[in-house]
A = this chain, B = another copy of it.
Amino acid sequence: MPDKELAEAKRILYGRSLEPLEFSAEAQKIAEKSDFQIAGYRFEAEKESTRTSRVIRLGLVQNAIIKSTDEDVLVQRDSLHQRMVPIIEAAALAKVNVLCFQEAWTMPFAFCTREKKKWCEFAESAEEGPTSKFLSQYAKMHDMVIISPILERDDRDIIWNTAVVISHTGKVMGKSRKNHIPRVGDFNESTYYMEGNTGHRVFDTKYGKLAINICYGRHIPINWMMYGLNGAEVVFNPSATVGALSEPLWGIEARCAAIANGYFSCAINRVGTESFPNEFSSADGKPAHKDFGHFYGSSYVAAPDGSRTPGLSRIRDGLLVTELDLNLCRQVKDKWCFQMNQRLDMYQNKLGDVLYNDQHGKKSEDLIREEE
């Protein structure tokens, strides 16, 4: 395809073209030595008179598990902790301010097995657990906010799917639980945990207002919306999802959320195929088996103007570094006015009508039938 036409095709598919970021040779070297992809892009924004630029760098991490799933829980978890050491170091060298890992990053995505034993042992305290302690030192050392999505066990032994936000000071700033739980394909994750009760928290960090919409929540636009209404400038979507199921949706949903809500969205997916000790069936008429498909990586960042970075690899571990100016959020809102025109009061009333009708077995008054 001629250069000019290719540029136009790319613009239509991906929005404006982004400059690649330069990294320190040191970061490159670590990536090479530790066998992970490192890639970086820059989203520009306009200069303003009344606000200084708020340029930050985000780091998105995607990775495969290290140890076999029949190893001891601690061996598996610690191998993943160790896997992050060079990745965090490269991120620090690449001047990343906010680093986010994939969903349930300290474990294989074992929820397809429906077995409780062993897998529940990966759950740990958000505030005091070994993973938060492990990351806390790096957050403080590198002046970096770290978002750590784990399987959480609370004081009442209730298990949650939770993202822990560790401040640049090394303190746990808070947590945000997964709001919508899949009952699809290989998963009814409510075998392990129920819908989250932390609402749509936004963390007002040194590097901007951050929120986390975990995995399946990306399919629910009103969920994305609520983080925006609470002021989020960046929403992370740490995920674990396989090719045959969701891949054609992957490039659409987080990007649409960025457009609709005037923030940056960050889609993160693990990589690799995970095999489990005992066979399980997948409710699809096929024989029992030990894995359920390929996690396709392809992590990316989308901007409020609809542009996006290329995705990371479909098969390799990777660190995606994105430089952006948070001021772009308001600039796009000022231009498009999606928020101003949103008519939220109408929707609050309409939702009330829908819930009432549903509870009382009534049809919507907005359902118009042919006259007799």
Chain A contact residues, CB within 8 Å of chain B: 11-16, 165, 167, 169, 171, 173-174, 179-185, 195, 199-206, 209, 216, 219-222, 224-226, 229-231, 247-253, 255-257, 259-260, 306-307, 335-338, 340-348, 350-352, 354-355, 364, 366-371
Tell me if B341 and A351 are in contact (CB < 8 A).
no
Chain B residues with CB under 8 A of A230: 354, 364, 366-367
Q: Which residue of B lies closest to A183 (CB)?
A: B337
Q: Are B341 and A371 in contact (CB under 8 A)?
A: no
* Chain A binding surface SS class: mixed
User: Which listed residue (B199, B219, B336, B368) contacts A338, Cβ 8 A?
Assistant: B219
Task: Report yes or no: A220 in contact with B367, Cβ–Cβ below 8 A.
Answer: no
The 9 closest A-B pairs by CB, nearest first: A221-B221, A256-B256, A15-B248, A348-B351, A230-B364, A249-B306, A248-B306, A174-B368, A201-B366
23 contacts between A and B (CB under 8 A): A11-B247, A12-B247, A12-B250, A12-B251, A169-B370, A174-B368, A180-B341, A180-B343, A195-B343, A202-B368, A206-B370, A216-B341, A219-B260, A220-B338, A221-B221, A221-B224, A222-B225, A226-B350, A230-B366, A230-B367, A252-B306, A344-B351, A347-B351
Residue of B nearest to A229 (CB): B354
Residues of chain B contacted by A352 (CB below 8 angstroms) = 348
CB distance from A337 to the nearest CB of B (A): 5
Q: With A248-B12, A347-B222, A348-B355 in contact, do A340 and B183 touch (Cβ < 8 Å)?
A: yes
Task: Establish whether residues A184 and B366, one from each chain, have CB atoms under 8 Å apart when the complex forms.
Answer: no
CA distance A134 to B270 in the complex (A): 56
Contact, CB under 8 Å: B13 / A248: yes
> Which of B171, B184, B222, B231 lies in contact with A367, CB distance below 8 A?
B231
Complex: chain B residue closest to A226, CB-CB = B350
- Residue in B167, B182, B209, B371 whose CB lies within 8 Å of A337: B182
Given contacts A220-B342, A229-B354, 8 further A-B contacts (CB under 8 A): A180-B341, A184-B337, A221-B257, A230-B354, A230-B367, A252-B259, A345-B355, A348-B355
User: Given the complex, which residues of B lie within 8 Å of A252, measured CB to CB?
Assistant: 252, 255-256, 259, 306
Q: Which residues of B contact A12 (CB under 8 A)?
A: 247-248, 250-251
Q: Are B364 and A202 in contact (CB-based, < 8 A)?
A: yes
A175 and chain B: residue at smallest CB distance = B368
| B231 and A173 contact, CB distance less than 8 A | no
Which residues of B have CB within 8 Å of A165? Answer: 368
Nearest CB in chain B: distance from A39 CB, A? 18
- Determine the residue in chain B with the shortest Cβ distance to A216: B341
Please, which residue of chain B has its CB at the minimum distance from the CB of A227? B366
Q: Hey, which chain B residues are within 8 Å of A219, CB to CB?
A: 259-260, 336, 338
Q: A199-B350, A341-B181 are in contact. Are A370 and B248 (CB under 8 A)?
A: no
Whole-angstrom CA separation of A367 from B167 in the bound complex: 15
Shortest C-beta distance, A349 to chain B (Å), equals 9
State how many angstroms separate the Cβ of A161 from the closest Cβ of chain B: 13
A226 CB contact (under 8 Å) in B11, B183, B347: B347
Q: Which residues of B contact A260 (CB under 8 A)?
A: 219-221, 253
Nearest residue in B to A359 (C-beta to C-beta)?
B345
